[in-house]
Structure 1
């Protein structure tokens, strides 16, 4: 086709496809000011020349073949409409680019990731951060790219109902709760006007609270402790299983225990605040039995920072499922005993002894007191009692494991 014919009828898709590069850039005109700029490298750009405010300007639409002829003509038509309204298409294009950039930074996923980064800097526990990220990632396919200010309660409800349809009722409720925190952060940073999650209260199935399974009677505890002694799995796993009843910390706190946190001369393990659920450091008195069990570990800090490193990498602690998997191997189902259940076992049986102040037991469980003054007072008031209690508890566990007759104190009778 001649250049004159091309100018009259416009380009064809075939002409664009077979445009050959030359030694210098050249134009293939389409119509109404649209043309294809062919570079010596063979790259082809769609462009438009126009005048605005007495000045010659050039607007670039994109590159072929990412943008085809028909799409370029549509963009040309939009540009000519802007000119007809007295607007500069080039400035309009810049404004649209800025708007898209702002919209991208205000998407639900962008705000959520920004919030995650914030709470990480605030020292949130790694496991808690990991859970929050996992919960949010389940919303990204449907809501991630949506501007957070435009998301409706119904949109979020559809995502939650999809999770709920798989009978993961607790997960659906936790996703709603985590999204609520993201929306509150969006409001505080002027990216949203309201928290749509508030509209969804009562919309989801509320799961019945199931307390973690635990053994809480002397007879059952006796059998559990003897079973642990006979555990034939990995040596470090057995040590962790034997140590956990004496310390009754959360399983995650034991997994992440580091040699540097232990003062063996003072017989205390101080867990730093970033590893604690309540974000406050926690001191654990070490009984003679606990120290003896720790001494069985056949490595030190020069091998790994962790008392219980992963079998795959000394730079990571053992898996979060190791303790529970070991209990299953011993024949205890998830409805009978879990790693977390050692805390309930200690709390129940120590309280039943009637010897120890319930507040001292609560302090040793690292259950928070909302009053900061009372909390500071309690720490000093109950420390000596906690040291005695932890040694007595270890002695009691030894008696249970040995199968000795356990005498329960009788309350309500005065001495004769």
Structure 2
């Protein structure tokens, strides 16, 4: 007969015995100890071996509840699963879920990748998640973060009007889920399904002069600039060498070889991943005769210091990032017409469309990542002659435009 609640309540174990067992039925029994503790167990056989499964304590687990637990375990046993082993697996899964929260996996990924990232990028990557993702889903097991929940988190950011950040966070979360999959913490990447669920970002390209006539107007304005000599030189040199604005304003005299007509930007000063900054080659920029002339004329003014274009306030720092932008405004070119970064787009567009220069050669000089054997070949130092010819041709073309010359496709002699 099944045990009644009264029988369970009144059951006692003599002090001289270790325990007594009161049978309930179908392998279920109540074990009573001399100290008064009472626990339910189910005895069963699996693969020919006798085993038992703890089902809870009395009175927290009443007889009826103990029988339900026994029946659930019997179903597992009949399906070919060891109930005790299934319980151990479930316990481990719960423990893993507590450790494998979204935030824990994200921080593990950051710790793994940060040594290869720039310090700025690594700090920004983590700070963005700490502000806009962790407060909402960070404490949840990563397996519980499904697409609707992640989308709701990203739309909080989108609602602030920062659509680009929402897309960046989706990509970062995708990295976390992929890392979680390699750890066995999750199986799916819900971020991958949300690429079209966020509002699109209206891409705004850097303003640039892209037509020959306008380029001629710009070059004449630069030549007539009446501000600081170093600023005027920086503007014309930006057009001649079309390097990133940060590399132009931070240029050091130690990088310049006027006799060889070469600017050598160290790898650590280039826009690269951290490993490439440490182990990569420097970026070589051939200087056309006009660029060499500009630097020779400037050397008596700034050559005593470290920077080619030092700060107007103190020579210990390089030129401010707003100096060239402000100068362009003074000349009548606002942010919608031309920016310091626009010299790169101007050079690439006009050289391809007007000078018939191969795009891969230009990309190498822009220090962009290139694909294909030709692009990779032109990034090697022994192909410098092609770059030097290109830079000379470009300088000659800018001179023609500044003089009001023809703007049809130009062929260097």
| Superposition TM-score, scaled by structure 2 size | 0.62
**Alpha-carbon distance in 1 for matches of 2:230, 2:126:** 30
Residue among 159, 170, 179 paired with 2:164: 170
Alignment match of 1:276 (pick from 243, 254, 271)? 271
- What's the CA shift for 1:245? 0.8
- Quote how far apart the aligned CAs of 1:205 are: 1.2
User: Per-residue displacement from partner, 1:135-161 (whole Å, max 9, x unpaired)?
Assistant: 434334434555545433333322321
Structure 1: unaligned runs, 5 residues or longer = 1-53, 55-80, 86-98, 412-416
| Bigger Rg, structure 1 or 2 | 2
**Inter-CA distance 227–409: structure 2 relative to 1 (3 Å threshold):** closer
1:389 and 1:285 map into 2 onto residues whose CA distance is 9
Structure 2: where are the runs of 5+ without partners? 1-34, 36-56, 62-92
Contact 2:181/2:188 (<8 A) preserved: yes
Shift of the 188–251 alpha-carbon distance from structure 1 to 2, 3 Å rule, reads farther
Contact kept, 8 Å, 2:207 with 2:336, in 1: the verdict is: yes
Contact kept in structure 1, 2:142 and 2:185, CA below 8 Å: yes
- Quote the residue 2:350 is aligned against: 349
| 1:269 aligned counterpart, secondary structure | strand
CA contact (8 A) 1:135 1:174 kept: no
Q: What's 1:13 paired with?
A: none
What's the offset of the Cα at 1:285?
Answer: 0.8
Match of 2:125 in 1: 132
**1:23 counterpart residue number:** none
2:234 to 231, 240, 248: 240
Match of 1:227 among 218, 221, 227: 221
SS at match of 1:157: helix
Indicate the residue corresponding to 2:89 in structure 1. none
Displacement of 1:349 in angstroms is: 1.4
The equivalent of 1:287 in structure 2 is 288
Distance 2:112 2:317 in 1: 24
Hey, what does 1:249 align to over in structure 2?
243
Q: For residues 409 and 288 of structure 1, do their structure 2 counterparts lie closer, same or farther at Cα, with a shift above 3 Å needed?
A: same
Aligned residues: 319
Query: How far does residue 214 in structure 1 lie from its aligned partner after superposition?
Result: 1.3
Judged with a 3 Å threshold, the aligned counterparts in structure 2 of structure 1 residues 159 and 399 are, in CA distance, closer, same or farther, namely same
Corresponding residue of 1:181: 175
Q: Is the 8 A contact 2:102 2:139 kept in 1?
A: yes
